[in-house]
Amino acid sequence: MDLKILYLLHRMIAFGSRNRSLLSLLSVLVGVIAIDILFHRLFVVSAFTLEQSRLQYPNFLDTLDIGFAPEVWLSLIALTLGTLVIAISVAAQTIPKIAELYMRDWVSLAYIWFLMIGGSHALVIKFYQDTESLRSSSIVLNLYIFLPVSILIAFPYIFYVLKSIQPITVIRKIVETHLANIHKLRWSSVGRLLNNHAYREECQWRLLESLNQLGNLLEYLTFKEPKAQAIQNISLLIQTYITTKPDINPEFFKVGQTVCSDISFKTLIDQFQDLEQSKTFYEQKCFRLLGNIYVHLLNDFEFDLASLCASEMSNIGLTAIEIEDDQLLEVIIVRFNTMFRFALKHGVKHNEARNLYNLAFHYRAFIEHLITHHRIHHSWQSFYYLRIYGNEAYSYGQTSPAMYFIVDVVAAEMKKILMLIHQQHWSEEIQQQLLGEMLLVDRPPEIETDSLMQPHLNNGVRTLQICLALFYLKEQKYGFVDCIITDILDDIEVLGKKAFRQRIKKTCDRLRASQPKFWEDTDRGNANLYYTPDQDHIKPFLVLLDKRLA
């Protein structure tokens, strides 16, 4: 089919979609007229039966009175519309653009127009009641079919409206429409239409507009359940989109006026070309929404929902790894780093470690996905960034003591990553270099060069490094153990040999007594960061350490 004809058909369908109220009015009006004509014909065909009814009930048709019907219809219309207006007005205070959604709801439009036309039908019948042109079939149809049906449907419809204005229902409706729009991009006819600039802009606008609706909902909502659903659905939309992306016409990814004018891209004027080349404007939009949501949740101290944002980012990363989208992986790493920056800023300001504690876990989960899929470059890159943020947390420790715990958390996550890398049989050269990164986690250059600041020895990091050394001893990787011991011996310059030996003894005693579970609960359960199952190798470790001290 010619592209112009396809576009013309699309414009006709789009016109009907934009004018749903008019279309539903015409549809209901035609339906009522058709039913009236059909019912009249059936009424005439059944004349013999009706005549026999009149023998038994001679005044049946003569006594039909339509006079009260318009008032009943008017009351029904007032009840329904009043409930609808009040419900939507109340909902609009917490759910933006809810009125627009209901202006496009076919059920609501059809029922309201049916009430209006049914009432008008009764008025017309009353006007012709005393004339010969009045059809008895119309009176029976209105009084005994249309009116009872409308009354019976009224209360279910009110309950339908009340259920539909629930935030969860609104979110589900937006997401279902959005998913349908994503899947349409795979259609061959839509693929051809995407070569048309106007149609492409319209498709981009529909996707960005519904994402903005979800973002606005998250700003207004107060209950956690719909917020969590919205966050998870944004993640679902991204994962659905990136799996669909290979089947979409490349013309769709061109950055036009719709993308440039979107609120999320107002400050990216010099990056539009990169967005177009990388074909990531949609993903960037979603990630910016998640980033804004994350900051908002941090400021509201909603730790669990903030952690959910990081968790969904990790899930998106896994999907990107599975479809081998390297460009998207780069974007996800940048977004994780941005979230770490937000959480670090919030944690330092409020001396609050909880968000960083949760975020480090999800960042490590993402890196583990990279490792198990043997993505060496991205794993190394992410591991390096994790160490950088551990250094920054350490540098803030003197003004915000909670950050020292975050350094321990980062070191614990790096330890788990190094253990996984060893189990994945990566080359010893790479393992050696990554181990070197972990040994730098409590040595930010800012502190080393600032003579005004007192040196701080993070015993938690040393404990975790010793745990890693015990693991390497079990695996008989003595070169890695030696690297860790060399780093630990640097503490002698600050403590002196005697104090150093006392601290090492105390740390080893702590490891011997440590249990897998901590006696308090956290967002991540009660696993003990400082537990090691390799306690049997503490004595050989001390022997190696003593040899280096001698």
Mean pLDDT score of the chain, rounded to an integer?
A: 84
What pLDDT, in 10s, does the model give residues 11-21?
A: 676 666 677 78
- Give yes or no: residues 195 and 342 share one domain: no
Residues 6 or more apart from 180 whose CB is under 8 A from it? none
* Residues 126, 229: Cα–Cα separation, whole Å: 52
Residues 129 and 42 in one domain: yes
Question: What average pLDDT does range 484-507 have in this prediction?
Answer: 87
Q: What is the pLDDT of residue 46?
A: 57
**Is the residue at 35 inside a domain?**
yes
pLDDT of 446 above 70: no
Clarify whether residues 126 and 95 are in a common domain.
yes
Cα–Cα distance for residue pair 422/365, rounded to 1 Å:
16
**Cα 419 → chain centroid:** 32
Q: Are 10 and 16 in contact (CB under 8 A)?
A: no
**Is residue 295 located within the same domain as residue 323?**
no
Same domain, 274 and 186: yes
The reply to whether 305 falls in a domain is no
Classify 249 as helix, strand or coil: coil
Catalogue the E-assigned strands of 19-76: none
Q: For 216-269, how does the pLDDT look when each residue is reduced to its tens digit (9 = 90+)? A: 888 777 888 889 999 999 999 999 999 999 999 999 998 888 888 888 888 777
pLDDT of residue 368: 95
Task: Determine, yes or no, domain membership for 306.
Answer: no
Residue 451: pLDDT above 60? no
Count of domains forming the chain = 4
Q: Exposure pattern of 176-185 as b/e (b: 16+ CB <10 Å)? A: eebbeebeeb
What are the pLDDT digits (tens) for 88-112? Answer: 777 776 676 677 777 777 888 888 8
Q: What does the alpha-carbon distance between residue 547 and residue 550 come to, in Å, rounded to a whole number? A: 5
Q: Within a domain: residue 533?
A: yes
449: in domain: no
Q: Give the model's pLDDT for residue 141.
A: 81
328 and 402 belong to one structural domain? yes
Instruction: Place 48 in a pLDDT band, splitting at 50, 70 and 90.
Output: very low
Q: Are residues 156 and 175 in the same domain?
A: no
So what's the pLDDT on residue 449?
Answer: 42
Domain that residue 424 falls in: 311-439
Listed in sequence order, the residues at least 6 apart from 281 whose beta carbon sits closer than 8 Å to its beta carbon are: 204, 253, 255, 259, 265, 275
Give the pLDDT of residue 171: 87
pTM: 0.82
Last residue of a domain, one of 255, 277, 300: 300
Q: Of the candidates 208, 193, 356, 359, which has an alpha carbon nearest to the alpha carbon of residue 286?
A: 208
What is the 3-state secondary structure of 303-366?
HHHHHHHHHHHHHHHHHHHHCCCHHHHHHHHHHHHHHHHHHHHHHHHHCCCHHHHHHHHHHHHH
Longest dimension (CA), the chain: 124
Residue 53 in domain: yes
Q: Is residue 447 part of a domain?
A: no
Query: Residue 352: CB partners within 8 Å, gap ≥ 6?
Result: 301, 346, 402
Q: What percent of the chain has pLDDT over 70?
A: 87
Query: How far is CA 413 from its chain centroid?
Result: 25
pLDDT confidence bin for 73, thresholds 50/70/90:
confident
pLDDT per residue as tens digits for the range 104-134: 778 888 888 999 998 888 888 777 765 555 6
49, pLDDT greater than 80? no
Reported confidence tier of residue 6, pLDDT bands at 50, 70, 90: low
Element (H, E) at 13: helix 3-18
Question: If you average pLDDT over each of 163-172, 218-227, 316-325, 445-454, which comes out highest?
Answer: 316-325
Whether residue 11 is found in the same domain as residue 157:
yes
Q: What's the pLDDT at 395?
A: 87
For the chain, how big is the Rg over CA atoms in Å?
35
Selected residue with higher pLDDT from 374 and 163? 374
Over 50: is that where the pLDDT of 72 sits?
A: yes
Out of 146, 164, 182, a domain closes at 164
Residue 80's closest CA among 165, 148, 159, 154?
A: 154
Give the whole-angstrom CA distance, residue 389 versus residue 360. 10
Bigger pLDDT: 64 or 446?
Answer: 64
Whole-number pLDDT of residue 338 = 94
When comparing pLDDT for 182 and 398, which is higher?
182
343-399 pLDDT, tens digit per residue, is 999 999 999 888 999 999 999 999 999 999 999 999 999 999 999 999 999 988 888
Instruction: Decide which of 300, 329, 351 is a domain's last residue.
Output: 300
Percent of the chain with pLDDT over 90: 34
Identify whether residues 487 and 376 lie together within a single domain.
no
Distance CA 463, CA 511 (A): 8
pLDDT surpasses 90 at 63: no
The reply to whether 22 and 154 lie within a common domain is yes
> What length is written for the chain?
550
Overall average pLDDT of the 152-166 stretch = 84
**Residue 289: pLDDT over 60:** yes
Please report whether residue 104 resides in a domain: yes
With beta carbons less than 8 A apart as the criterion, state whether 368 and 417 touch: yes
Residue 456 pLDDT grade (very low, low, confident, very high; cuts 50, 70, 90): low
Q: 20 and 107, same structural domain?
A: yes
Check whether residue 114 and residue 256 sit in a common domain.
no
